[in-house]
Structure 1
Amino acid sequence: MVGNARSIEKKATYWGVPWEEAYGYAQAVLVGNDIYVSGQLSHDSSGNLVAPAALDAGGRPRDFSMMEAQMRVTYENLSAILARFGATLDNVVEETLYVLDVDAAFAAAGTVRKEAYGTERPQCASNLIGVSRLAMAPQLIEIACKAVLRPAAAA
């Protein structure tokens, strides 16, 4: 802790993947009724990227055909992290999708987001932001969000 600031109670959760230790961060943090979820990606339980994009000679994705597959697994991972705090995608109030190709992501998101949230109009604020690079070369998408739990009933 820096300085003499009043501390807050935080509960963190991790996947146990190598990059958590290397970078030094939690996958999600619960503070009160708020859950802050770090950028999730399409990896399996061992930390292997699912549906990695094919790379060109320079190590950059050469096509974005795996966007939908990566997006599906990313939402599955997001749901699994939220479940650790007793939440679902219904608790999400804001999400940000960081993508390498906005057109490919926008095309996939219409179907994938509606399926993930189980509704034609997910009730969360959503941002779709094009970026030049993500943490892993074959990665096409990363999703971060904020979710809110229902306050505990008064005793």
Structure 2
Amino acid sequence: MATRDVVFPAGRHALYERHRYSPAVRSDGFLFVSGQVGSREDGSPEPDLEAQVRLAFENLNAILAAAGCTFEDVVDATVFMVDPDSKFETIWKVVPEYWGSAPHPALTAVGVTWLSGFQFEIKAIAKLPDGAQG
């Protein structure tokens, strides 16, 4: 197997080491970004839900930037929410701050019961721009 072309944002996050995963992997012109949560530098959850969602997007954007991408390059996103019936509106009022204008990426939203102490997670697949292939 070839060595994975892993992308790390500046200031590697403690969460990646603790849970043993790569933030993102470049492959065949795409960037596959692992689920990003609203974690602080030490890997602990941001307790305020709106701030947690913003921090998840900031963490996602840092990885995208490290690979030469922006959110505009995202073609597919999956969001995970604990208890979406009670939290969806709070989460979704933050999303447009980061989502950009239409056309938007494809999206799958999933309600879950556990996110290791977090309430929101977003993973994405981005098309790498020319020159950002790694």
Output the TM-score relative to the length of structure 2: 0.82
**2:88: which partner in 1?**
106
Q: What 5-or-longer segments of structure 2 have no aligned partner? A: none
Distance in 2, Cα, partners of 1:145 & 1:78:
8
User: Aligned pair 1:25/2:21, yes or no?
Assistant: yes
What are the residue-to-residue correspondences of 1:30-109 with 2, within 5 Å? Answer: 30-50=26-46, 52=47, 66-109=48-91
Q: Which protein shows a greater Rg?
A: 1
CA RMSD between the two structures: 2.2
SS of the residue 1:127 aligns to:
strand
The counterpart of 1:150, out of the listed 122, 129, 134, is 129
**2:6: which partner in 1?**
11
1:68, 1:105 within 8 Å by CA — same for their partners in 2? Answer: no
**1:55: which partner in 2?**
none
Deviations 1:79-120 (A, max 9, x none): 11100001010011111111102134431344322210232x
Q: What 5-or-longer segments of structure 1 have no aligned partner? A: 2-6, 53-65
Instruction: Report the Cα offset of residue 8 of structure 1.
Output: 6.5
**1:62: which partner in 2?**
none
Q: Which structure features the higher share of strand residues? A: 2
User: Aligned pair 1:140/2:122, yes or no?
Assistant: no
1:10, 1:29 within 8 Å by CA — same for their partners in 2? Answer: yes
Distance in 2, Cα, partners of 1:48 & 1:23:
12
Q: Which has the higher contact order (CA 8 A, sep 6+)?
A: 2
> Which stretch shifts more, 106-115 or 91-100?
106-115
Distance in 2, Cα, partners of 1:33 & 1:109:
31
Distance in 2, Cα, partners of 1:108 & 1:96:
17
SS of the residue 1:151 aligns to:
coil
Identity %: 32
